[in-house]
Amino acid sequence: MKAGKFICLFALLAASPAGAYDLPSATGTHRVRFEADSAGFNEYTRVVGLEGNVRLEELSPEGKQLKLIRARNLSVDMASRTVVSPSDFVMDDDTGTVYGRSGFYDYGNNSGRITDGRFLIRNFVFRGRSVKFDSEGYNFRKASLTSCDEEPPHYRLRASRIRLYPDRYFLAYNTVFFLGKIPVFYFPVIYKPMGRGTPFVSYFYPGYDERNGLFVKSNYMYRLNPNTRVKAYLDYFARRGVGMGGEIDYNQAEKNITNISAYRIREYGRETDRWGLNGGYWHSFNKFNESDPAQYYSQSFFRLISDPAFNNDFFRTNPFAVSPDKQASLAFTRKTNYTVTRLSAYGRDERSAADPEKFRKAYESAPRLDFNTVPFTVLRLPVLNSFAGYFENAKEADLPYYQKKGRGAWTVSKTVPLSRRLILSPSAFYDQAVFLSTAPSAGDAWIGRYGGSLNLRYDRPWGSMDLRYANTQRLRENRFSVDRSSVDKGQELESVYADLFIMARSSAYFRARTSYDLRSYYTASFARRLSPLITEAYYAPRPSLDLYAQNSYSFASGNQGFVAQASAGDKERYFGLGVANYSTDPEAWVLSNTFGFRPWRTSKWRAEAVLRYRLVPDGFGKFQSFKFFEKAVTLYREFHDFRTRWDFRVRSGGVKEFFFFVNLKMNDPVRYDSLEEKSRQFWHPWRQEGAVRD
């Protein structure tokens, strides 16, 4: 600083009303400017005393306001380039607003300390008994945090220390969550980004399950980068123990899509862990050289569990995951403009009928090679050719050995327009299957098949009608002659098909299809030769109403099955009814009802319900039997600071549970999270929007 210049200037201002005045910086990097009712300058200490409606601005070299301090009185020390506020003050900058009971600010290095500070940033309120700050951020001691704008707040997180980096993140240590004055739970560390992207959030699901007892499920999510998100699960079950797991999502457009989730628990009294591992990936490889036009990619899917009941005991939202089988697949593919070559391995285990707590091998194929072509021409002949085949080393259920087998089919086809509305499509094929001996009691087997089809389509703007004839003849094993010595005389297929499709408008269609068996060895009546007539109809008279029905009727034995579904309403207010009846249990009807509603238009509560039940009618309004096999109710309630959800579920298999979910609005994503949505649609389509896990 140039002291002589300031002494002269402030000698004129001492004990007089003060207007706007600049305090220049010796470096020229920035300056401060003040306004006050009065000001005094001590030429010996070089301290400016400001009194009454004080406004002090820190300005950049370009004149942009960096900070604004408003107070009743301030002291500006020119020598140390510091500002002291002995009483209440307010400080604003581009990150937020700070309120303090007293404070100290060093505008030379942009640091300071505040007593009883309160910092407002976006929708958050940070408080601290003492607050230190620098150019990076704020350090709150004996702190609290809330996003509630009420006083006193409905909730707060009390912490021993909070480190806040505006527009980046905050870290809170030794936190206790309070509802009003009531402490609810303790957590050692809470982290949340304050910038772009999906925040780090934690979710807690306290509840009760008849099997597992009282429980608390907790989820923690963190975005590592724009393409990667990780989740951690930590659960406590009063009757079963502590379960831990996690999930990772990775999505790089047109390069890699990956999802892996894992979970394990050592239940009380068990010597081994129960676990689940699910997920898969799709990955596109780089070209091996510039002259190779082919595309190479790999993909995998797996659902592995320690025992058939694992998912039903711990992951119940997903009807697919609850199924008691496990499977895994891995494949590598080469694709060109003309061919697709795929090398794969696949295995599936099902629940054992003899021991329901164990698995039995249902099918295994390792390796398997598939090869397919797109339609192509040969010698410029006016027909299209295609080939599809595979060869595998497979083990089927209840077989003690692997089979080496393969199959290949060559098809020749042609499309012949007979008129503007009539199209004839003939095709012929030869199919060769091979079984190579892997057991001493069996030899190699080569079995050929040949046949063709002829389809006549009548096409109109309102729909189409197809009449098709198809024939498949099987050859003798290791012989090139028809297998007439077998029971079916080598006639695997000879049928005519009829398919009617009517779609007079985009919101409605009707379809009916059946076939007639022409095989000569099949001694059956006309009705039995007719396959079931399958009819289906769809009608959506308006966007909020969908109607669908399908029926299968056998001319020989009567109705085989009826399914109908109706849904009406929007996302929050809706009604759905599903009805099914099958010939395996013709007296019983299976119904499924779904509801979504608000008790009244302005209600803050919203409900969803699912009821699935089996009933056997016994006259009008009477039932021979009536049994629920699933009941579930979900209640939603949005409060000033929370979004809450209550789930009640009762289902066959011993499932009786209740859990409660609360999400602070401070956890809401900053913007639409495309990574989370893509993962949900690709890997977990059954998950509700916003759900963290099953």
Least confident of 193-207, 283-297, 414-428, 450-464: 193-207
On average, the pLDDT of the chain sits at 85
Please compute the mean of the pLDDT values over residues 668-673 and round it to a whole number: 53
Q: What is the pLDDT of residue 83?
A: 87
pLDDT at 300 over 90: yes
pLDDT digit string, tens, across residues 439-458 = 666 678 999 999 999 999 99
Structure tokens at 526: 């006309």
CA dihedral 581, 582, 585, 586 (to 10 degrees): 70
Q: Which pLDDT score, from 0 to 100, does residue 76 have?
A: 85
pLDDT for 666: 64
**665, pLDDT greater than 70:** no
Q: What is the pLDDT of residues 600-629, one digit of tens each?
A: 888 888 999 999 999 998 877 777 888 888
Share of the chain above pLDDT 70, in %: 90
Q: Please give the average per-residue pLDDT across 490-516, as a whole number.
A: 94
The secondary structure of residue 378, as a DSSP letter, is S
- Output the pLDDT for position 328: 94
Instruction: Pick the closest to residue 352 from 310, 383, 319, 397 (CA basis).
Output: 397
Is pLDDT of 196 > 60? Answer: no
**What confidence tier does 1 reach under pLDDT thresholds 50, 70, 90?**
very low
Token pair of 411, please?
């098809």
Length of the chain: 694
pLDDT value of position 392: 95
Average pLDDT of span 94-115: 86
3-state SS, 486-516, equals CCCCCEEEEEEEEEEEEEEECCEEEEEEEEE
Most distant CA pair in the chain: distance in Å?
A: 125
pLDDT, average across residues 289-295: 81
**Beta strands at 445-460 and 463-474: parallel, antiparallel or unpaired:** antiparallel
With cut-offs at 50, 70 and 90, classify the pLDDT of residue 467. Answer: very high
**3-class SS of residue 229:** strand
In terms of pLDDT, which residue wins out, 644 or 562? 562
- Ramachandran angles phi, psi of 585, nearest 5°: -145, 70
* Residue that the structure tokens 């002829």 belong to: 454
Residue appearing with tokens 């001590």: 42
Would you say 23 and 2 are in contact if contact means Cβ atoms under 8 Å apart?
A: no
Decide if pLDDT at 11 tops 70: no
Confidence of residue 18 (pLDDT cuts 50, 70, 90): very low
Find the mean pLDDT for residues 123-127: 86
51: pLDDT strictly greater than 90 = no
What are the sequence ranges of the domains in the chain?
1-80, 375-531
Phi, psi of 10 (to 5 degrees): -75, -15
30 confidence band (pLDDT: 50, 70, 90): low
pLDDT tens figures, 302-346: 999 999 888 888 876 665 556 788 999 999 999 999 999 999 999
Which pLDDT score, from 0 to 100, does residue 475 have? 95
Residue 657 has pLDDT above 50, yes or no: yes
Percent of the chain surpassing pLDDT 90 = 40
What mean pLDDT comes out for the span 26-36? 66
